[in-house]
Amino acid sequence: MAILLILALPFVGICFPLLMQRHGRLAAALAAGIPTLVAFVILMSLAPSVFAGDVLVASRDWVPQLGLSAGLRVDGLGFLFAAMTLGIGLLVIHYAYFYMSKEDRLGRFFAYLLLFMGAMLGIVLSENVLLMALFWEITSLSSFLLIGYSSHRSEARQGARMALTITGLGGLSLFAGLVLLGQIAGSYELTEILASGEQIVAHDWYLPMLLLVLLGAFTKSAQFPFHFWLPNAMAAPTPVSAYLHSATMVKAGVFLLARLHPALSGADVWVYLVGGVGMVTMCYAAYVAFFRHDLKGLLAYSTISHLGLITALFGFGTSGAAVVGVFHIMNHAAFKASLFMTAGIIDRQTGTRDIRGLGKLHGAMPYTMVLALLGAAAMAGIPLLNGFLSKEFFLKETLSVPLMAGTPWLFPTVATVGAIFGMAYSVRLVHGVFFEPTDNKTPKEADDPSFGLLLPVAILVAICVVVGVAAEWTAGPTLAAASAHVVGGDLPSYSLTMWHGFTLELLMSAIAIVVGVAVYVQRRRLYDFAERVWPELTGKMVFEKVLGLVVGFARGLTTRLENGSLQRYVALLLGMAIVAGAIPFVQYGYVSGTQAITPTNPVAVAVWGLLIVAALATVFTHRHRISAIICLSVVGLLISIVFVYMSAPDLALTQLSVEVVTILLLLLALFVLPKVAPVEGSRKRKVRDAGLAVLGGLGMGAISWAVMTRPQQSISDFYLENATYPVGGGTNVVNVILVDFRGFDTLGEVAVLVLAAFGIFSMLRYAHHTYVEGVPDTADDRYPLVLVSASRPLLALILLMALFIFLRGHYLPGGGFIGGLVASVALITQYLASGIDWTTERMRLNFRSVAVAGLLIATAAGAVAVLIDSPFLTMTLLDVNLPLVGQSDFVMTLLFDLGILLAVVGATMTILSELSHMQEVEPYDEEQRAKETDPWKP
């Protein structure tokens, strides 16, 4: 519970600063600070049990089918990171309140910050690795928002985009890696993953999984060659740089290495990859940092270098190195956050961050100078400060990497070179800003800032000093508790004292300090040298080049595929479908079944012959559209005969009535569209299309032949056995399936029909404005006497028939669908015979309302079941035999079917009447019309 509260507080807190910002900046800062403080206090209350070595787990199933649980855990490592996230978070909130411009209301800023804080806590407190991946993504996103906070500046937007691209890419890769890891370990719970290290390392998938996970960790922790996003992320406001890009978010990568250390570190490839990348990054970034003139740029590369150092420590694969790695995570967070804040102060008080424009500030900013001096000394690894301890231990560990026994000098040399430049850029940071003689005037008159701005820096520097002097007492317990879960076994013996005698690592440290100062003294020559041989190729350029290539490729592909011709898309689509359908034929060969063939008969052959002729005639007459419609209607009618033969009376009825409305619809369309199409299309295209048509047709025929000649296995026995009372309550199984077993499907499908009708309605209403021209009426006889006279009595008869078909539907072929279509035909006939005006005058029904009413009735019929605690659309719910009505179950299905009927009538009529309203025929003599449309009127 306490764990959940720690995680939930920042997320819940997101809305507080947004709500409070109208009451001023202080209110917004307090609104962000209080949830953080409360979460911090709760976390501290867990400290005793964590130091006792307990692992507190709170887990709840979320999507158990995917192995996803909302599991949280607090162990030593999670505790350390959560404490860093919340503690430094508090200091950053305090700092930001004083640092940010007075015009900024800060609500949005603190909301982003809390979002990040919650996500970071999520990463470090997750028990389930999939959950961890989720929070990992949120940190990338919130980092994007925070880097781009000053969204009016293009470098902020660029930096934000680059950070998101790189870390987001890594996040996806990490996700894939974690899924693989979960598959290998058989569980997504950390407890089980950490316990099955040997099994994981021995698995065939170990290497791909490791590469994917490492890609995630390296991109997040800005390891070479993915480091370049971090310097560009310095466009973020300084509090963000201090928090995300030095102390916490970039540590998520090394946290992951630490977290999975017990499970993954057992292989040689781990040492080469993680250790190697870490060492390269550590040395390279330290070298680059020395040449950065921007304070934050220098600190960014320094951060990359230190992250490389930590990565390398976890990569050595020894338990001693892992402990040092954890120790340096703590130390680095303290001194680097303080230095970033100091850089922000210098920027704010002088108006520039460029070291070349600064100097001699020790007089104007004495307090800042002292704090910067101590922070930089910790960073350089000067004795009596915490940085000295962990760097000393790091140098010691490089001497004894088991796998590097063949080249024992390699890692120590690289480490010493890195340390030399670490010393050099630290000296530069302090000397260049505070002591170097300069004639430059800073843009603003420099002075020490207010106490409020210095306070968080002072606290962090105090930590550096205290840990440096008395590490065992202060950092010892936390370090031991955290390291226990990184080592994955018994802790090695180590001593956090400063003096270990005259050792090799002490010599290396001394070399680093002396040579580092010498490098700084010789800086002018080095700058000139670097100016001359500075590599043209930077990470940012490569990134932009690659991005440009990808975008160019995508754009080229898009323009080539998508040339605006729908015809081509359809051809491509069908072609793909045919290829996809053909693959199994090629793969497994085509074998027809052995089922006995149903004997044929002359009538069937005749129908078949007519069908083929009508289909081909439709194709050949397609340019003369009226003829084509007639041919198509022949096909439709013949198909209903086929349905009858295939024992599908319901389908035959439906097909018959749909055919009528379809043909009407197509004829109506020809009011507007040309009745004859031009001759067009190259011969080549026709051959291509004919080829596709033959292949597609043959494929369909071949599949159905293969199926029909094989014996059947179907799930339908269930429907046949249960169609009757008491389960289904009908004898027409098709109708029972529609209104009962698969009622939800049916409801959805009529909803589609109604939606289509509404779409058509709105489209045509809009189109009316553009269409006013009269259509020349070429009919010789507008209102044929026979049709008009016959349509009146037919209306009643057909409607009666529709009712009959509807009512018997549950027991014999029929039902709501068919009844609805037949009723529509009856109504449409009136439009056809007597014209629109005559019919509209008499039929004052809003068919859209009818359609909606139908849907509502059907839904209500289904919802009755919910009232008595059965699933939606349960039809057999009341087992009561009512007089006259029969089984009450029958009433519910009838009601449902009535809804279907009304929806079908409403939708069909909306569609057809809207279409027929479109044409404005030539004016006709009113008296003549009245006479013709009402022949029976005296």
Partner 1 sequence: MEALIASAIAVLGGSGIYLVLRARTFTVILGLAMLAIAVNLFLLSMGRVVPGHAPVIEEGLETAAYVDPLPQAVVLTAIVIGFAMMSFAVVLAISAHFVTGTDHLDGEEEAP
**187 forms part of the interface with partner 1 (CB under 8 A):** no
Minimum CB separation from partner 1 for residue 905, in Å? 12
**708 forms part of the interface with partner 1 (CB under 8 A):** yes
Candidates 38, 703, 853, 895: give the one binding partner 1 (CB under 8 A). Answer: 703
Nearest to 808 by CA among 719, 893, 751, 889: 893
| 382 vs 915, beta carbon nearer partner 1 | 915
SS (H, E, C) 27-86: HHHHHHHHHHHHHHHHHHHCHHHHHCCCCEEECCEEEHHHCEECCEEECHHHHHHHHHHH
**720 forms part of the interface with partner 1 (CB under 8 A):** yes
Residues contacting partner 1: total by CB under 8 A? 117
Minimum CB separation from partner 1 for residue 565, in Å? 5
Residue 559 corresponds to which tokens in the numbers above? 């323009």
Candidates 473, 534, 590, 705: give the one binding partner 1 (CB under 8 A). Answer: 705
Candidates 588, 712, 883, 925: give the one binding partner 1 (CB under 8 A). Answer: 712
Binding segment for partner 1 among 132-140, 196-204, 284-292, 751-759 (CB under 8 A)? 751-759
CB atoms within 10 A of CB 581: 15
Minimum CB separation from partner 1 for residue 840, in Å? 20
Candidates 616, 796, 863, 882: give the one binding partner 1 (CB under 8 A). Answer: 616
Binding segment for partner 1 among 15-23, 143-151, 534-542, 735-743 (CB under 8 A)? 735-743
* Residues 271 and 326 sit within 8 Å (Cβ to Cβ): no
| 202 vs 752, beta carbon nearer partner 1 | 752
| 521 vs 605, beta carbon nearer partner 1 | 605
**764 forms part of the interface with partner 1 (CB under 8 A):** yes
Minimum CB separation from partner 1 for residue 850, in Å? 16
Within 565-584, the residues that bind partner 1 by CB under 8 A are: 565-567, 570-571, 574
Candidates 704, 789, 849, 870: give the one binding partner 1 (CB under 8 A). Answer: 704
| 717 vs 925, beta carbon nearer partner 1 | 717
Within 856-915, the residues that bind partner 1 by CB under 8 A are: 904, 907-908, 911, 914-915
**822 forms part of the interface with partner 1 (CB under 8 A):** no
CA-to-CA dists, residue 805 to 708, 814, 827, angstroms: 31, 5, 16
Minimum CB separation from partner 1 for residue 720, in Å? 4
**564 forms part of the interface with partner 1 (CB under 8 A):** yes
Residue 532 corresponds to which tokens in the numbers above? 């001359």
Exposure on the CB side of residue 813, measured as CA atoms within 13 A = 11
* Residues 341 and 367 sit within 8 Å (Cβ to Cβ): no
Minimum CB separation from partner 1 for residue 70, in Å? 39
Residue 534 corresponds to which tokens in the numbers above? 């500075």
Candidates 813, 819, 862, 899: give the one binding partner 1 (CB under 8 A). Answer: 813
| 806 vs 817, beta carbon nearer partner 1 | 817
Phi and psi, residue 128, nearest 5°: -95, 130
Query: For the window 105-134, what string marks contact with partner 1 as x by the rule CB under 8 A?
Result: ------------------------------
| 506 vs 703, beta carbon nearer partner 1 | 703
Within 404-433, the residues that bind partner 1 by CB under 8 A are: none
Minimum CB separation from partner 1 for residue 857, in Å? 17
| 399 vs 642, beta carbon nearer partner 1 | 642
Nearby residues of 654 by Cβ (< 8 Å), 6 or more positions away: 817, 818, 821
| 408 vs 759, beta carbon nearer partner 1 | 759
* Residues 836 and 864 sit within 8 Å (Cβ to Cβ): no
Residue 693 corresponds to which tokens in the numbers above? 């048509």
SS3 920: strand
Binding segment for partner 1 among 145-153, 203-211, 226-234, 728-736 (CB under 8 A)? 728-736
Please give the span between the terminal C-alpha atoms of the chain, in angstroms, as a whole number.
88
Helix axes 366-380, 410-430, angle to 10 degrees: 180
Candidates 504, 554, 612, 863: give the one binding partner 1 (CB under 8 A). Answer: 612
Strands 774-775 and 920-921: parallel
Minimum CB separation from partner 1 for residue 818, in Å? 8
Residue 21 DSSP label: G
Provide long-range contacts, Cβ within 8 A and 24+ apart, for 745-748: 746/900, 747/855, 747/858, 747/859, 747/862, 747/873
Do you know the residue count of the chain? 938
* Residues 411 and 493 sit within 8 Å (Cβ to Cβ): no
Which DSSP helix (H) or strand (E) runs through 725? none
DSSP H helical segments within 534-601, as ranges? Answer: 539-561, 566-588
Minimum CB separation from partner 1 for residue 765, in Å? 11
| 44 vs 666, beta carbon nearer partner 1 | 666
Geometric angle at alpha carbon 811, from 808 and 814, rounded to 5°: 50
Residue 423 corresponds to which tokens in the numbers above? 């010393």
SS3 131: helix
Cα torsion at 901, 904, 906, 911 (round to 10°)? -160
Within 643-682, the residues that bind partner 1 by CB under 8 A are: 643, 645-651, 654-655, 658, 661-662, 665-666, 668-670, 672-674, 677, 680-681
CA-to-CA dists, residue 618 to 462, 607, 689, 911, 921, angstroms: 89, 16, 16, 25, 29
Minimum CB separation from partner 1 for residue 251, in Å? 55
**628 forms part of the interface with partner 1 (CB under 8 A):** yes
Candidates 366, 552, 556, 759: give the one binding partner 1 (CB under 8 A). Answer: 759
* Residues 79 and 478 sit within 8 Å (Cβ to Cβ): yes
d(CA 459, CA 466): 10
Minimum CB separation from partner 1 for residue 558, in Å? 17
Residue 676 corresponds to which tokens in the numbers above? 């004859």
**629 forms part of the interface with partner 1 (CB under 8 A):** yes
Within 345-374, the residues that bind partner 1 by CB under 8 A are: none
Within 485-504, the residues that bind partner 1 by CB under 8 A are: none
Residue 600 DSSP label: P
| 557 vs 720, beta carbon nearer partner 1 | 720
**828 forms part of the interface with partner 1 (CB under 8 A):** no
Query: For the window 912-931, what string marks contact with partner 1 as x by the rule CB under 8 A?
Result: --xx--x-------------
Binding segment for partner 1 among 24-32, 359-367, 613-621, 870-878 (CB under 8 A)? 613-621
Residue 369 corresponds to which tokens in the numbers above? 């100078």
* Residues 794 and 826 sit within 8 Å (Cβ to Cβ): yes
Nearby residues of 465 by Cβ (< 8 Å), 6 or more positions away: 374, 384, 385, 386
| 164 vs 628, beta carbon nearer partner 1 | 628
| 12 vs 669, beta carbon nearer partner 1 | 669
Within 767-786, the residues that bind partner 1 by CB under 8 A are: 767, 770-771
| 693 vs 797, beta carbon nearer partner 1 | 693
Minimum CB separation from partner 1 for residue 802, in Å? 15
Candidates 698, 796, 880, 882: give the one binding partner 1 (CB under 8 A). Answer: 698
Tokens 């589609």: give the residue: 752
Minimum CB separation from partner 1 for residue 271, in Å? 59
**719 forms part of the interface with partner 1 (CB under 8 A):** yes
d(CA 32, CA 12): 10
Phi and psi, residue 777, nearest 5°: -90, 115
| 399 vs 918, beta carbon nearer partner 1 | 918
